[in-house]
Amino acid sequence: MFSLHQYDPFWIFLSVSISIPYLASSISGFVAPTRKEPEKLTSYESGIEPKGSTSIQFQICYYMFASVFTVSDVETLFLYPRAVSFRELGLFAFIEVVIFIFILVVGLVHAWRKGASEWCQLPNVGLKVR
């Protein structure tokens, strides 16, 4: 007979793990001071009074460059444990790493062809460089 009582620890763990973020945010809302002074309501930019709109539009190439860097960084992170235990893992792990590197190289070539590896040229906004 199938018994649902064997899943009781799972449901307890699930309910506790879901409730922890809500409890943490609600406790911090009660404990934190809420003083709405004029200085707190302004946008913070190193203590300098903002001029114009504080929300500016960034070019997408910054995000593309950061994504390529992140993929390269994660690649190194995943390859290090395989390199350390190469002798114990054997030929299957070597083939797995070769396939992984091939997939990442294909992604890097695709990003390179799309121009993600080139740094953006800033538009001329009227700043004079001495």
In a domain, 128, yes or no: no
93 lies in a domain? yes
Contact (CB, 8 A) for 65 and 117 = yes
CB 64 within 8 A of CB 120: no
Domain extent at residue 91:
60-114
Q: Please report, in tens digits, the pLDDT of each residue of the chain (130 residues total).
A: 567 788 889 999 999 999 999 998 888 878 877 777 776 666 665 666 666 666 667 677 777 777 778 877 888 888 888 888 888 888 888 898 889 889 888 888 887 787 766 666 655 544 444 4
Give the single-character DSSP code of 85. Answer: T
Is 85 within the bounds of a domain? yes
**What does pTM read for this prediction?**
0.45
Count structural domains, the chain. Answer: 2
Distance CA 102, CA 96 (A): 10
Is there a single domain that holds both residue 107 and residue 74? Answer: yes
